Amino acid sequence: MKKLRSSPHLPLFITLVVLAALYSTASILFHGFFSGSVAANLIGDNAMLGIAAIGMTVVILAGGIDLSVGAVMGFTTILVAVLVQQHHVPPVVAMGIGLALGVLFGLAMGFLIDRFDLPPFLVTLGGMLFARGIGFKISSESVGITNPIYDRLSEFALPLGGKAFFSAAALIYIGTFVLGIVVTHWTSFGRNAYALGGSEPSARLMGVPVGRTKLLVYAVSGFCAALAGVVSTIYMGSGNPSLYVGFELDVIAAVVIGGTLLTGGVGSQVGTLAGVLIYGTIGSALNFYGQLNSSWLRIAIGGLLLVFILLQQFLSRVKRAT
């Protein structure tokens, strides 16, 4: 127990306990909640949140923040939809263009942040306004996608036995998650990001390529946001520039609930997955309860955020005291 209390994995551990507690409470309260199909849908329905959160985790680990995520997602959905629907670009090419632009966009923001030492908060705020505006410039209305490849993608279902199945969105999320784990925890880039978030001057002295890491971190986030946008087009079968307004804050909330410290340097992709699932569990529990009212979801998420932050604060104080 003592070992656990001083372990850096304690926030993650608590997050997992909360997830298990929430899920089992919901399973006891609501008939039919504890089923493979609800669990599989939890992953599919929260794929957009989860994919964006993977990129956000990397940015926050490196001590930054990315407020442009929601806007980049909205931009990508409308870009892909218009390319496929009005310009008859093959979907795969359109998705590729969307992803490439997301990466470029992230690189541009990373460049400004790194080269001119600008505050990430403001640069990505600018990025958010920019991407949102350009999205509306492409089309101010929702564009539906009717394309055989898209039909096949949205109807795709990988049976898991019983009534449960993974949709294309869920599979993409799982794939990205595995990739995210590899990149964050098993590459030198990931370690550099941790070092950078821990202490920038120390990282610099250790010889971490600070500039390149910052650039890449925002590129990763831009890629994840664009991918989340692409998944959204598959999930909804349409693109809309006004989607995902303020979504970046949900993403940040999920990452923080997952035990990643906003000061950088501490956190993990597994924690973020748990954070996303906690978010999703509350959402579907409210859904089962018949309270589709988003106000309760917001209050619950706010309350959870508060609890987790206080907990992290308490733990770091305990650690300092010992």
Partner 1 sequence: MINPPELKFKSWFQGASLFWPIVGLGTLLLFNLVFSPSFFHLEIREGHLYGTLVDIVNQGSKVMLVSIGMTLVIATGGVDLSVGSVMAIAGAAAALLVTKVAFVWVLALSLGIATAAGVCNGILIGYLDIQPIIATLILMVAGRGVAMLLTGGQIITFEDPALVYIGNGHFLGLPFTVTIVVCVLVVTLLVTRKTAVGLFLESVGDNERAAKFCGINVPWVKVLVYACAGLCAGIAGLIATSNIKAADSSRVGEMKELDAIFAVVVGGTPLTGGRFNLIGSMIGALLIETLTTSMYDLGVSPAVASVPKAVVIVAVCLLQSEKFRNRLRGLVGGRVQA
> Are 49 and 107 within 8 A, CB to CB?
no
Tell me whether residue 148 or residue 201 sits nearer to partner 1 (CB atom). Answer: 201
Tell me whether residue 44 or residue 102 sits nearer to partner 1 (CB atom). Answer: 102
Nearest distance from residue 315's CB to partner 1, in Å? 13
* SS3 of residue 243 by DSSP: coil
Tell me whether residue 269 or residue 312 sits nearer to partner 1 (CB atom). Answer: 312
Nearest distance from residue 34's CB to partner 1, in Å? 27
Per this entry, what is the length of the chain? 322
* Spatial distance between the Cα atoms of 307 and 295, rounded to a whole number of angstroms: 18
Rg (CA), the chain: 20
DSSP of 112-157: HHHHS---HHHHHHHHHHHHHHHHHHH-SS-EE---HHHHHHHH-E
Tell me whether residue 25 or residue 293 sits nearer to partner 1 (CB atom). Answer: 293
Torsion sign, CA atoms 155, 293, 74, 40:
negative
Nearest distance from residue 105's CB to partner 1, in Å? 12
Nearest distance from residue 322's CB to partner 1, in Å? 18
Q: Which residues pair with 159 in a beta bridge?
A: 165
Nearest distance from residue 227's CB to partner 1, in Å? 23
Per CB under 8 A, residues contacting partner 1 are 65, 112, 116-119, 121-123, 125-130, 132-134, 136-137, 140, 241-242, 245-246, 249-250, 252-253, 256, 262-263, 293-299, 301-303, 305-306, 309-310, 313
* Spatial distance between the Cα atoms of 50 and 247, rounded to a whole number of angstroms: 12
> Are 117 and 99 within 8 A, CB to CB?
no
> Are 205 and 29 within 8 A, CB to CB?
no
* Spatial distance between the Cα atoms of 71 and 75, rounded to a whole number of angstroms: 6
Nearest distance from residue 130's CB to partner 1, in Å? 4
Tell me whether residue 75 or residue 177 sits nearer to partner 1 (CB atom). Answer: 75
Tell me whether residue 159 or residue 303 sits nearer to partner 1 (CB atom). Answer: 303
